[in-house]
């Protein structure tokens, strides 16, 4: 039996030096390959003392899932870029970033982050960690701007990801017309499972909830497969790590169940 461990790596991020990657590998059998979840905002995922906004405490959640179901997953936390976070997690190709009340969005760079994940982080993880490489066992998850980036990267690389955690996504940055135009280009016969979550408490989360409803209507209008579209709304929840940690428990269980079911077929 291999003990659980946290592995850190520094990988080159374009024009910004090295970026820290934190990887949690749960206890597993010798030679066993595990499903893997790539996540944004790595500083906030594992330890309170490292968190910049609040901690998801994902080690506890993975261990609880192993105790409950007997299965776990590797968590790959990709650090956010500090002052560049909002720009790094905002794709420009979806459309014009429009809110005038959010001055932190000055240069949409989500495509650069997307390339970093797919071309740098994933090859490193797949070459050095005990993870499955099949699409069915590979997920992407993020919250807020990270939820938007998860949606973008997952749909842009449908051949790599089968499951997306889109938590409180920043869809409100774009017009409905731009969102529909971009999504329509992404619809194919092999879509990933969309686990879209939002709360509705507080001004920001209420606005995000309203934008998620717009995107959900777009997805259904464009005939996104019904069995791959899961919208969860907890109206009492605000825009914070505590809420995302709460919903991650079900996201994790659903992803692992589907990944293992596919492996058994």
The stretch 129-146 carries a mean pLDDT of: 97
Q: Which long-range contacts (CB under 8 A, 24 or more apart) does 246-249 make?
A: 247/167, 247/197, 248/56, 248/58, 248/61, 248/141, 248/165, 248/167, 249/61, 249/64, 249/65
pLDDT single digits (tens) 139-156: 999 999 999 999 999 999
- Beta-carbon contacts of 262 under 8 Å, excluding residues fewer than 6 positions away, are 134, 136, 137, 162
What's the pLDDT score for residue 70? 93
Q: How confident is the model at residue 104 (pLDDT cuts 50, 70, 90)?
A: low
pLDDT single digits (tens) 13-65: 998 899 999 999 999 999 999 999 999 999 999 998 888 888 999 999 999 99
Residue 43's Cβ-side half-sphere holds a number of Cα atoms within 13 Å equal to 12
3-state secondary structure labels for all residues of 201-228: CCHHHHHHHHHHHHHHHHHHHCCCCHHH
Mean of the per-residue pLDDT values for the chain? 93
| Whole-number Å distance between alpha carbons of 225 and 194 | 10
Q: How confident is the model at residue 132 (pLDDT cuts 50, 70, 90)?
A: very high
Place of tokens 């991020």: 13
What's the pLDDT score for residue 189? 81
pLDDT single digits (tens) 206-264: 999 999 999 999 999 999 999 999 999 999 999 999 999 999 999 999 999 999 987 66
What's the pLDDT score for residue 265? 64
């Amino acid at each position: 039996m291999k003990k659980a461990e946290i592995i850190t790596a520094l990988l080159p991020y374009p024009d910004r030096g090295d970026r820290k990657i934190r990887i949690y590998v749960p206890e597993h059998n010798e030679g066993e390959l595990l499903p893997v979840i790539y996540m944004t905002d790595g500083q906030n995922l594992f330890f309170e003392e490292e968190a910049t906004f609040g901690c998801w405490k994902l080690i506890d959640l993975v261990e609880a899932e192993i105790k409950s179901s007997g299965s776990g997953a590797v968590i790959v936390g990709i650090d956010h870029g500090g002052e560049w976070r909002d720009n790094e997690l905002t794709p420009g190709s979806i459309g014009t970033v429009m809110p005038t009340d959010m001055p932190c969005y000055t240069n949409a760079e989500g495509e650069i982050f997307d390339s970093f994940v797919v071309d740098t982080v994933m090859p490193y993880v797949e070459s050095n960690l005990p993870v499955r490489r099949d699409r069915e066992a590979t997920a992407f998850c993020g919250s807020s701007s990270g939820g938007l980036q998860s949606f973008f990267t997952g749909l842009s690389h449908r051949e790599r990801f089968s499951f997306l955690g889109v938590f409180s996504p920043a869809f409100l940055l774009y017009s409905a017309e731009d969102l529909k135009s971009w999504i329509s280009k992404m619809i194919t016969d092999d879509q990933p499972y969309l686990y879209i979550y939002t709360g509705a408490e507080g001004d920001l989360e209420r606005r995000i909830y309203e934008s998620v409803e717009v995107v959900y209507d777009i997805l259904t209008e464009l005939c996104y497969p019904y069995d791959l579209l899961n919208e969860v709304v907890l109206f009492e929840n605000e825009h914070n790590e505590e809420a995302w940690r709460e919903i991650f428990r079900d996201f994790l269980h659903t992803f692992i169940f589907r990944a293992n079911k596919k492996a058994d077929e």
